[in-house]
Amino acid sequence: MTSFAEFLTAKRTVEDRALNSAVFERFVSELGACSGSDLVRIVEIGAGTGSMIARLAEWNALPPTVSYRAVDIDADTIDTARQQLPEQLIAAGYAVDRTTDGLIASRQEGGTDQRLELSFEVDDGFSITDEADAVIASAVLDLVDLDPTLQDLKGVLNDGGLLYAPITFNGRTSFTPVDPFDGKIERLYHRHMDEVREQPGSSRAGQQLVTALPAAGYRVLDAGGSDWVIRPVDGAYPAAESTVLRHLLATIDNALTDYPPEVLSPRTRTEWIETRTEQLQRGDLTLVAHHLDVLAQLQAD
């Protein structure tokens, strides 16, 4: 099985395509409006291997002067981010100096001096405090209890601060070619997220987030679909996207082993996974997984 950090790095190209461009552009424009204050403070919770930071830099989406706290509870992912990001930022035109807890990256873009002060932290991102202009939680809010988390985030955000939560899972994992057991496997995989696994979270977190935000004191500025579509192109998967499919099949397999044989026979599970693995190896497997991107703003009390 691939490491979690390899999986996170591999899904970057999938999500570059998947991100909802209207929600992303609104986020970038609202973030730009914060630049009235000289320094824009961003906290990313569940930053993983740093894909969002690299993307924002490459896509020229950051305000001129940014302090960016990249927080993840998993030390391996933060280590990978620390190793990968200097090269990625240099490729995006930045000069990079390492600091004790992160790095400082600077460049000139369109006649403007840009500076990114980045710190890496291994911590529970929902127990930290800050006065951030924006919190980013990408592919994270489907792993938490939403109501307490939205309250916790009030200790991280300024009044009027932005919450950008892209790639929030929302209830569909579908593969082709069609298999007679797909419906049952998908139902049990999602039920595992909702009722079986120890980690909190929900298989319909995207929609639940849109409903929970106003009740928790946030205004939803925009929301839109951001489906993963991973498919072979001329018989081969782009970039490292076969790694994403392999990791997802292993995740589904692990989840399904928690069911007793009277709910799902081991033979059905094994045959389904073997069939999907063979299709992946032949370059014949396509996945569509449904997510929502949500942008909200914390209202003043």
Ligand X SMILES: C[S@@+](CC[C@H](N)C(=O)[O-])C[C@H]1O[C@@H](n2cnc3c(N)ncnc32)[C@H](O)[C@@H]1O
Kindly list the residues in this chain that would bind ligand X in the complex (CB under 6 A). 8, 45-48, 51, 71-74, 77, 124-126, 138-140, 143
* Residue (72 or 253) nearer to ligand X, CB: 72
* Residue (79 or 182) nearer to ligand X, CB: 79
* Residue (74 or 179) nearer to ligand X, CB: 74
CB 146 → ligand X: shortest distance, Å? 13
* Residue (72 or 227) nearer to ligand X, CB: 72
* Residue (190 or 269) nearer to ligand X, CB: 190
CB 42 → ligand X: shortest distance, Å? 13
CB 76 → ligand X: shortest distance, Å? 9
Q: Smallest Cα–Cα separation from 221: which of 12, 33, 16, 11?
A: 33
Backbone φ/ψ region at 16: left (φ over 0), alpha (ψ -120 to 50), beta: alpha
CB 40 → ligand X: shortest distance, Å? 19
* Residue (123 or 258) nearer to ligand X, CB: 123
**CA 240 and chain centroid, separation:** 17
Beta bridge partners of 229: 288
Pairwise CA distance, residues 9 & 7, whole Å: 5
Q: What is the DSSP annotation of the chain?
A: ---HHHHHHHTHHHHHHHS-HHHHHHHHHHHHHGGGSSSEEEEEET-TTSHHHHHHHHTT-S-SEEEEEEEES-HHHHHHHHHHHHHHHHHTT-EEEE-SSEEEEEEEETTEEEEEEEEEEES-TTS----EEEEE-TT-GGGS-HHHHHHHGGGTEEEEEEEEEEEEEEEEEEEES--TTHHHHHHHHHHIIIIISSS---TTHHHHHHHHHHHTTEEEEEEEE--EEE--BTTB-STTHHHHHHHHHHHHHHHHTTS-TTTS-HHHHHHHHHHHHHHHHHT--EEEEEEEEEEEEEPP-
CB 142 → ligand X: shortest distance, Å? 8
* Residue (72 or 130) nearer to ligand X, CB: 72
CB 190 → ligand X: shortest distance, Å? 16
* Residue (41 or 269) nearer to ligand X, CB: 41
CB 183 → ligand X: shortest distance, Å? 25
CB 97 → ligand X: shortest distance, Å? 25
